[in-house]
Amino acid sequence: MRVFFRCWVALAILVAVPSCSADVPPGELRIGMNINALRDWGTAFPFVDVFHASRPLDSEEGGGVTLDAHGWIQRLARGRVAVSPVLFDIAPGRVIAGDYVVRWRGKGKLAFDCASLRQGDGSHHRAVIHIDGKDDCGLYLKVLASDPADPVRDIRVTLPGGICRGQPFKTVSAADQCPSGQYLSFEAHADSILFNPAYLTYLRDFPVLRFMDAMETNSREHVQRTWRDRPSMQDATWQKRGWPVEVMVALANRVGADPWFTMPHAADDAYVRQFAQYVRQHLDGDRKVYIEYSNEVWNGIFPQHDYAVEQGRKLRLDRDEDVAGWKFYSRRSVEIFDIWSSVFGQQKDRLVRVMATQAVNDYMTRLLLDYQQAWKHVDALAVAAYFGGDAGAGDVDRVRKMSKDRFFAYLQKVEIPRIAKEYRMNAAIARKFGLSLIAYEGGQHLVGVGPAVDDARLTQRFMEANRDPRMESLYLAMYRAWKQAGGDLFMHYSGPGQYSKWGSWGIKEYLLQPEAQAPKYRATLKAMRGL
């Protein structure tokens, strides 16, 4: 890919390594990437310590496990077993195979179901296990016993191999592949290396990284209100509360990308200010920062929608509860933008203040921007730029009857023109207010909605379409329509991930999937070179 890199020394994390930034030449479409939430069945594998993506420790039987504030075991009742799926329910051939090292502190007994034990017996703080990835059960970790005076904690499960010092984008299998004294094993240096080199290599093509899912922005279980509620580097897993800000900033620095943060919907001003202060102090100085208040606050399926409506009603912003929620979103967005601008001071031109809207609702869009002249505090209007949504909703009966060829013709002749019209409509609104138009998410949206989510035949059709080479042409048509409408940055949704009835969102199905098997990824790389 024709991308130009400039390198310097990254200071964000414990080991100094080169960090690269992509300058996109004029005329090429800027495409960023939405970063996946961590899941034990996830196939992006961003960290060398895969336990960061593990499911929170719990009892198979229910009850009998007491955890501390960070999710580590405080007490395990006699006869109970604490379990955590780590690499689990992942299709064969997608897990990174090899010998993983498990380390922990405390007294107790661990077992490693699905994997093969190479060294150790699960009792002495270190074990080597082999994961072959030949089935969908990579590692199912069990804590069989834990001493309440010195409980099992600080579990790490590190990938095979390591890196040569100063070369974070390449995995090596042993010390003899590095100059003398330059080998850093993942086992010994997991905290400082932090990121899987293959993940860094995949990401450095993308100039902007949106951390909405990584921040668990849509979570109902863990709502962040104060700075004490934020995810911690000491948390047992980052699956539950999301990635710590330290990790997100470190990733942006490491690959030379601009981060896009979605502030939690219930976060108070002090939270927003401290978050902004950390970013200003630790993000490389030539990086921009995209700021958005939560995610799709207009969307009734998310808790942030309910929160906005409730706040709008309390403030009596409008008699119509939906409109009251929209006005609250606009108002709170501006408040957050102003806090960030105050923190960044003379560097506030590094901020890109994003107001997001529903792509098909031009009335809402104008209201959000007009309300109390919010547009004066905004830099970019953001929409979702998906195609294919009607195939899993309004056009389900029609789509079921189509052959594969007719289905692709439908996507090309019906869905692409439909979204091109949406793009032009939103671009016109953005121009009216002097804003750039960006896509906070975009790509194919082939997924069943409502009862259709359980239609196995429809799901199979959608997954096959995502794997079909013709998807590359559809993606290029989508990107071309976006560019022709005047759209700027396009944030693909999302990174590597498995397909299911809940959607085929991944740009690849797993991190190491060959480009030849990933039509959406091929199209995206081509679009970044020029359309």
**DSSP reduced 3-state for 490:** strand
pLDDT, position 276: 98
**pLDDT tens per residue across span 388-424:** 999 999 899 999 999 999 999 999 999 999 999 999 9
* CA nearest to 396, candidates 384, 385, 388: 388
Share of the chain above pLDDT 90, in %: 92
The token pair at 156 is 């790490």
**Alpha carbons 112 and 92: distance in angstroms, whole number:** 18
Give the type of residue at 253: N
Report yes or no: 197 and 163 within 8 Å, Cβ to Cβ: yes
pLDDT at 102 over 80: yes
**pLDDT tens per residue across span 128-158:** 999 999 999 999 999 999 999 999 999 999 9
Give the type of residue at 127: A
pLDDT, position 110: 97
| b (16+ CB within 10 A) / e for 301-312 | ebbbbebbbebb
**Alpha carbons 351 and 290: distance in angstroms, whole number:** 6
pLDDT, position 6: 29
Q: For residue 7, how far is the Cα from the chain centroid?
A: 25
**pLDDT tens per residue across span 472-489:** 999 999 999 999 999 999
* CA nearest to 22, candidates 4, 10, 1: 4
pLDDT, position 27: 54
pLDDT band at 28 (very low <50, low <70, confident <90, very high): confident
* CA nearest to 491, candidates 445, 440, 419: 440
pLDDT, position 61: 81
pLDDT, position 122: 86
pLDDT, position 4: 28
pLDDT band at 18 (very low <50, low <70, confident <90, very high): very low
Q: Where are the alpha helices (DSSP H) in 265-320?
A: 269-282, 303-314
pLDDT at 12 over 50: no
**Alpha carbons 32 and 163: distance in angstroms, whole number:** 27
pLDDT at 425 over 60: yes
pLDDT, position 389: 95
pLDDT, position 530: 86
pTM (two decimals)? 0.93
**DSSP reduced 3-state for 295:** coil
pLDDT, position 23: 45
pLDDT at 82 over 80: yes
How many C-beta atoms lie closer than 10 Å to residue 227's C-beta?
15
How many C-beta atoms lie closer than 10 Å to residue 274's C-beta?
16
pLDDT at 370 over 80: yes
Task: Tell me the mean pLDDT in the region 194-204.
Answer: 98
Longest pairwise C-alpha distance within the chain? 72
Structure letter (DSSP) for residue 234: T
pLDDT, position 62: 79
User: Nearest-5° angle of CA 158, CA 161, CA 166?
Assistant: 105
**Alpha carbons 127 and 27: distance in angstroms, whole number:** 52
The token pair at 300 is 């009734």
- Sequence-distant (6+) residues with CB within 8 A of 508 are 496, 518, 520, 521
Q: How is the chain split into domains, by residue range?
A: 50-159, 207-378, 386-531
pLDDT, position 419: 97
Q: Which strands, in side-by-side order, build the sheet including 126-131?
A: 116-119, 126-131, 98-105, 153-158
Q: What is the mean pLDDT of the chain?
A: 93
Report yes or no: 284 and 19 within 8 Å, Cβ to Cβ: yes
**Residue position matching structure tokens 């606009």:** 330
- Sequence-distant (6+) residues with CB within 8 A of 216 are 37, 222, 240, 241, 242
**DSSP reduced 3-state for 315:** coil
The token pair at 499 is 């397909």
Give helix 321-344 / helix 303-314 axis angle, nearest 10°: 100
pLDDT band at 176 (very low <50, low <70, confident <90, very high): very high
Task: Tell me the mean pLDDT in the region 220-239.
Answer: 96
**Alpha carbons 332 and 311: distance in angstroms, whole number:** 10
pLDDT, position 95: 96
Report yes or no: 108 and 145 within 8 Å, Cβ to Cβ: yes
**pLDDT tens per residue across span 297-337:** 999 999 999 999 999 999 999 999 999 999 999 999 999 99
